[in-house]
Amino acid sequence: MNKFAETLTVDNAVLAMIDHQTGLLVSCREQDAHLMTENIKGLCSMAKVVGMPTITTASMPDGPNGPIMPEITDILGDEVIERAGEINAWKSPEFKKAIEATGRKKIIMAGIVTDVCLMFPAISAVAEGYDVYAVVDASGTWNKAVAEASIHRMTQAGVKVATWASVLAEVMDDWRSEKGMELGGVLGQHTSYRWVYNSFLQASQVQK
Task: Write b or e for each residue in 56-88: b if 16 or more Cβ atoms lie within 10 A of its Cβ, otherwise e.
Answer: bbbbbbeeebbbbbeebbebbeeebbebeebeb
Percent of the chain at pLDDT exceeding 70: 97
Amino acid 111: pLDDT: 98
Each residue of 43-59: pLDDT tens digit? 999 999 999 999 999 99
Domains located in the chain, CATH noted: 13-174 (3.40.50.850)
Q: Are strands 81-83 and 13-18 parallel, antiparallel or unpaired?
A: unpaired
CA dihedral 184, 190, 191, 195 (to 10 degrees): 60
What CA–CA distance (Å, rounded) separates 27 from 140? 8
pTM of the model: 0.94
Catalytic residue annotation: 117
Each residue of 58-90: pLDDT tens digit? 999 999 999 999 999 999 999 999 999 999 999
Q: How far is CA 186 from the centre of its chain?
A: 14
